[in-house]
Structure 1
Amino acid sequence: MTTATEYAEAEAGPGARQVFVLAWPMTLRAIFLHGTVVIDGFLLSSLGEGALAAMGLAAALGGIVLGFIFAFSHAMQIRTAQAFGGGNPIFLKSVLVAGLTVSLGIGVVGVGMILVWGEVVIAALAPSTQIAGQAQTYLLIFTVVILCEAIGQCIASFFNGCSRSKLPLYGYLLSVPINVTSSIVLIHGYWGFPALGVAGAALGSAIAITVQTAFWSVLLFRTSGHLLRVVGWHLDTFVSTLKRHIQFALPIAATFVSATLSTHLCSLIYARMALNSFAALTLIAPWNMLAGQIAMQWTQATGILVAQLLGKRTPEDVLDRFLSRAWLGAFVAAGIVSAAFLIMGLSLDWIYPNLERETRAILFGFLPILMVIQFPRATNAICGNTLRAAGDTVYVMHIFIWSQWAFRVPATALLVLYFDLSAFWILSLFLWEEVIKFPAFHRRLWRGDWKKFDVAA
């Protein structure tokens, strides 16, 4: 029987507390996820700039494949939330099976391409033969991470879409200590193991991610194994269901793939800069991704709840109230991220004592950009995730693709290859990209058409 309090809460809709409950495990999980590269960079920094350059080059290529996997996993997260909000077990089972099929296919194809062309690409881009050899070894071992993430990220997105965001976090609480311990041992050769250097960092990550994926698979069978007994598919047959899943996911995936490709293409352009500048940009990229997850996961949690509310056909006034509360929380999260970067910037001598003074000076110079960018990035993300949750995915895709490929990528090439500007101005292009996206996002959201979309189609 529904109490008066429960009825009032349903009428008012969820608020910041519900976003926080969903977002904090997602935030920690995302920090652990992107922290894999940060951990490798931190542990390899004692080996010098050459080791960092090798890792950065290999991570740029491997990250392209992971970008495809994460992109489709994010689309699955939204689709799962729509199915979960509507309470349809056939829809929910269809999303899970279709998502796993797509993700595994991407992982297998991506690893195949790395095995065929990875060595050639690295040899063409690496600044020296030694760095090329280290990068190739790192990338070959990293293929294990790619295959495991193809399964694991799909499962984690399914949990998030069902508001079980703590379950993916448990996997990272298990894998991160394994990653740190095994990487330290294998990089430096402790306890009788060989000192593998750059390869040791990759092998430590591969071991940890394998354990994590196995753990998540067990959790999936324990919490959602009953879906395997559900008869039927969302659109009569699995083939038609898979096609609809891909159709829904493609614009979202294209958005994230575009972001990944443009970022990693820019990283490859950075390889033409001076070694200190390239090392600084390689180091700050995972830090920027890592700290930014505090605000980004808040906005993704907002999108999940919007998708669930739309699946329940929630009234427009409830959606408006919820979004206003979530928006305020996003600004608070952005402020926390800015403060985190301030602390990091003032602690560089302690974090990276083995880096050259010039590299640390470049990193400190990034601080104003990193503190300011969090606010336009957070409000743009609220708009983007809300529109995706409603199915307005093509418009969001266009905003990202045009701002990246018509502005940031060519501007990066121009400033690096022609004008030879400092790393500060190269990083500032990310801020200008957010400024460019701002009016297009907010104009679309304020129109309000997204509140009327049928997300169960």
Structure 2
Amino acid sequence: MRLHKETVEDVLKLALPAIGEMVLYMMIGVFDTMMVGKYGGNLAVSSVGLSTEIIYTFANILIAVGVSVGITSLVARKIGSKNYELAEEYATLGFCATMIISLLFSLFILLFSSSILRLAGAEENVINMASPYMKIASIGIFFNMLMNSLNAMLRGFGNTKTPLFASAMINVINICLDFLLIFGKFGFPELGVRGAAIATSIAQVSGFGFICYYVAYKSKIKINFKYIRDFKFQMLKDLLKLSVPSSMQEAAFSISRLISNFLIISLGTIQFAANQITTTIESISFMPGWGVAIAATTLVGHKVGEKNYEKAKDYAHTSIVLGSGIMLVCSFLFIIMPKLLINLFITSSEVDVINLGSICLMIAAIEQPFMGISMIAGGALKGAGNVKTPFIVSFISSWVLRLPFMIYFVYFLKLSVIYVWMITTIQWIFDGLLIYYLFKKYFNKLKTTV
């Protein structure tokens, strides 16, 4: 397929700020893991790693890849058809739904953190360190989820720069407070893992405050609660029609991954720490895929709203080529410098963690381009209003393929965490190839308009 300069520029104009936002967003967890690893070794990494996996798995299912996807897709299509008032009404409805979901989720984490960790199979020393982290982090995640829904509205409008700036601000605050509160610098108390949670929560509250100010005073579309007084049930159905399948897609993938982490932690803190550090590094690498997927959802949504299906196809194919190409570069970095990357997250004395993590990272290099194809083809399908196909593919690859192999090799045979990454690579190759085939089939059916 030939790439057109104008199309590439349109994709990059939206994708690059979105990629920056996603990378910066993930850097919150990266710096937390990095600093607590230097502070407390594999036990601290395991505690923070397990806590964040649990919290962000469900935050993503409910909001980031649930309600927020519905908001972005609906706002993008209404903006494309020049119906700004309806776009604003969908955004307001999505924000109100997020408020209710976020409050219930945060309270659940706050009240039941220890029980959740025991259910995950964590050892008592991990629970003692992780439970206070989760309780404090429950405050930050409430505001983070609210901010995510506002960012989804801005992205649907085509504004990916403001969420990028907010993420940069959050990171600066988080890094500074991590350094001060984890290690106890410049007269601040040495709080270790708890300090990391406090730093992240303060940063997320600050980010939410900034986005609220922008939406209230600068944004062209706003949250307007007058629409709640004239609530239309059909609009809620429209939002749920997109959000629920997207949420289920993320649930199919993330819950299977979370169960996998519960299985891995039974192998001990060294194996789990190696897995967690590899996962953290990989989470940075697939941010380009997520960023381009957001651009694909927005641009395809705009063109479908305009009924310009040929241009929608052009944006979709260009996004896939660009995004998977960027992730291929990450593959080379994983192969060339695995130990250097792992060393950033742990003390040099943790030789076993470094060696295991390096092997896992090199295996992860194989899955990167396939992961990119899966994310971006799925994003393009969501922009066109097809959220069922990504869910079905994710369900098959996660629950029919990945999880049974994980249970057999890790739980029953107690094999090394290296096998986890072999299984994950097979999963992503299958996932990427299948969703690309279904994506092409779906987009070929779209009618062409002149």
Q: What TM-score comes out, normalization by structure 1 length?
A: 0.90
| 2:369 alignment counterpart | 375
Give the corresponding residue for 1:26: 18
2:7 to 6, 9, 15: 15
Change (3 A) 1:153 1:449: same
Residue segments in structure 2 that go unaligned for 5+ positions in a row: none
Give the letter aligned to residue 447 of structure 1: K
Query: Compared with structure 1, are the counterparts of its residues 368 and 146 closer, same or farther at alpha carbon in structure 2 (3 Å cutoff)?
Result: same
Residue in structure 2 matched with residue 252 of structure 1 by the alignment: 246
Residues 391-450 of structure 1 show CA distances to partners (whole Å, capped at 9, x for unaligned) of: 121122111112111221222122111111211111122211122224432332222457
For residues 159-203 of structure 1, the C-alpha deviation after alignment (integer angstroms, 9 at most, x for no partner) is: 111111000011122111110111111111122222111101011
For residues 346-395 of structure 1, give each alpha carbon's deviation from its aligned partner in whole angstroms, at most 9, with x where no partner exists.
41475234451111001111233222211112222232122211112112
Which deviates more from structure 2 when the two are superposed, residues 137-146 or residues 258-267?
A: 258-267
User: Gaps spanning 5+ residues in structure 1: where?
Assistant: 1-11
Instruction: Show CA shifts across 1:5-43 (max 9, x none).
Output: xxxxxxx89511111111111111111111111111100
Q: Distance in 1 between matches of 2:342 and 2:245?
A: 43
Question: Whole-Å Cα distance in 2 between the matches of residues 183 and 210 of structure 1?
Answer: 15
Q: What percentage of aligned pairs have identical amino acids?
A: 18
Paired residues of 1:279 and 1:359 also in contact (CA < 8 A): yes
Aligned to 1:201: 196
**Conserved? CA contact 1:48–1:354, under 8 Å:** no
- Mark the CA change 1:232 to 1:327 in structure 2 (over 3 Å): closer, same or farther: same
Aligned 1:137-148 pairs, distance under 5 A: 137-148=132-143
C-alpha distance 349-160 of structure 1, shift in aligned 2 (>3 A): closer
More moved, 290-299 vs 18-27:
290-299
In 2: Cα distance, 1:404 partner to 1:250 partner: 18
User: Do the aligned partners of residues 182 and 438 (structure 1) sit closer, same or farther apart at CA in structure 2, a change above 3 Å counting?
Assistant: closer
Aligned match of 2:54? 61
Residues 36 and 192 in structure 2, CA contact (< 8 A), matched pair in contact too: yes
Cross-structure match for 2:69: 74
Q: Provide the C-alpha distance between the structure 2 equivalents of 1:228 and 1:328, rounded to a whole number of angstroms.
A: 35
Shift of 1:275: 2.3
Rounded to whole Å, the distance in 1 between the matches of 2:158 and 2:104 is: 31
CA distance in 1, matches of 2:225, 2:117: 47
**Amino acid in structure 2 at the alignment position of 1:322:** Y
| Residue from 145, 148, 170 that aligns with 1:150 | 145
Question: Which secondary structure does the structure 1 equivalent of 2:414 belong to?
Answer: coil
Separation in 1 of the partners of 2:444 and 2:71? 19
- CA-based RMSD of the aligned residues comes to 2.4
Q: Aligned residue for 2:267?
A: 273
Q: 2:56 corresponds to which letter in structure 1?
A: G
2-structure distance, mates of 1:65, 1:322 = 31
Is the Cα contact below 8 Å between 2:43 and 2:126 reproduced in 1?
yes
Whole-angstrom CA distance in 1 between matches of 2:309 and 2:173:
47
> 1:285 aligns to what?
279
Match of 1:42 among 28, 34, 38: 34
| 1:99 aligned onto 2:94 | yes
Residue 183 of structure 2 corresponds to 188
Corresponding position of 1:319: 312
- Could you report, residue by residue, the CA deviation over 1:28-85 in whole angstroms, capped at 9, with x for unpaired residues? 1111111111111100112111111111222222123312221221332222211221
Give the corresponding residue for 2:401: 407
State whether structure 2 residue 343 is matched by structure 1 residue 356: no
Q: What letter matches 1:292 in structure 2?
A: F
Per the TM alignment, residue 126 of structure 1 is displaced from its structure 2 partner at its CA by 5.4
Aligned equivalents of 2:386, 2:123: Cα separation in 1? 46
**Whole-Å Cα distance in 2 between the matches of residues 422 and 34 of structure 1?**
27
Q: Is the 8 A contact 2:325 2:369 kept in 1?
A: no
Classify 1:144/1:344 alpha carbon distance in 2 versus 1 (closer, same or farther; 3 Å): farther
Residue 224 of structure 1 aligns to a residue whose secondary structure is coil
Residue 442 to residue 174, structure 1, CA distance change in 2 (3 Å): closer
Aligned-partner SS, 2:219: helix
Which of 331, 340, 343 is the equivalent residue of 1:347?
A: 340
Provide the C-alpha distance between the structure 1 equivalents of 2:19 and 2:269, rounded to a whole number of angstroms.
32
Measured in 2, the distance between the counterparts of 1:375 and 1:259 equals 17
CA gap 1:226/1:36 in 2 versus in 1, 3 angstroms: closer
How big is each residue's C-alpha offset from its partner over 1:280-323, in whole Å with a ceiling of 9 and x where there is no partner?
0111112111121123312331222111111111043x334333
> How far apart, CA to CA, are the structure 1 residues paired with 2:246 and 2:401?
20
Q: 1:449 to 1:169 in 2, by over 3 A?
A: closer
Q: 1:140 Cα deviation (Å)?
A: 0.2
CA distance in 2, matches of 1:255, 1:363: 28
Q: Deviations over 1:216-239 (max 9, x none)?
A: 110111233665679869xx8433
Separation in 2, partners of 1:57, 1:231: 41
Q: In the aligned structure 1, how far is the partner of 2:153 from the partner of 2:274?
A: 36
Aligned pair count reads 440
8 Å CA contact 1:412–1:429 kept in 2: the answer is yes
Q: Which amino acid aligns with 2:15?
A: A
Secondary structure at the residue paired with 1:122? Answer: helix
